[in-house]
């Protein structure tokens, strides 16, 4: 990865929330953009799919970049959804490589 440049990138992230009240939700989103700099984070935001008649919105930051092969990187993320129908879900995982 370059030290800093004008080129920007995003990450895809997807998965399944934790189970709460006997159900979970899927999500499949794209992060906000960020410059190709070392030690950066991304804002992850979106909505889960609908289950049991509702969905959840979420917004949180990733951890700093984790170098992988070929000069690429990923990010670990862990956050919590907004409350809907009296409950929340946790979301955690790793983004896909930068694109």
Give 36's pLDDT tier (boundaries 50, 70, 90): confident
CA-CA-CA-CA torsion sign (93, 96, 98, 99): negative
Give 34's pLDDT tier (boundaries 50, 70, 90): confident
Q: Does the pLDDT of residue 4 top 60, yes or no?
A: no
Contact 11, 42 (CB under 8 A): yes
Give 8's pLDDT tier (boundaries 50, 70, 90): confident
Q: pLDDT digits over 60-75, tens only?
A: 999 999 999 988 899 9
């Amino acid at each position: 990865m370059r030290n800093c440049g004008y080129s920007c990138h995003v990450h895809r992230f997807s998965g399944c929330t934790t189970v709460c009240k006997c159900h979970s939700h899927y999500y499949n989103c794209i992060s906000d953009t960020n410059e190709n700099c070392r030690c950066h984070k991304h804002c992850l935001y979106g909505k889960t799919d609908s289950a049991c008649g509702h969905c959840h919105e979420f917004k949180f930051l990733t951890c700093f970049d984790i170098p992988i092969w070929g000069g690429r990187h990923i990010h670990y993320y862990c956050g919590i959804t907004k409350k809907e129908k009296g409950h929340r879900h946790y979301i955690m995982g790793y983004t896909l490589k930068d694109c």
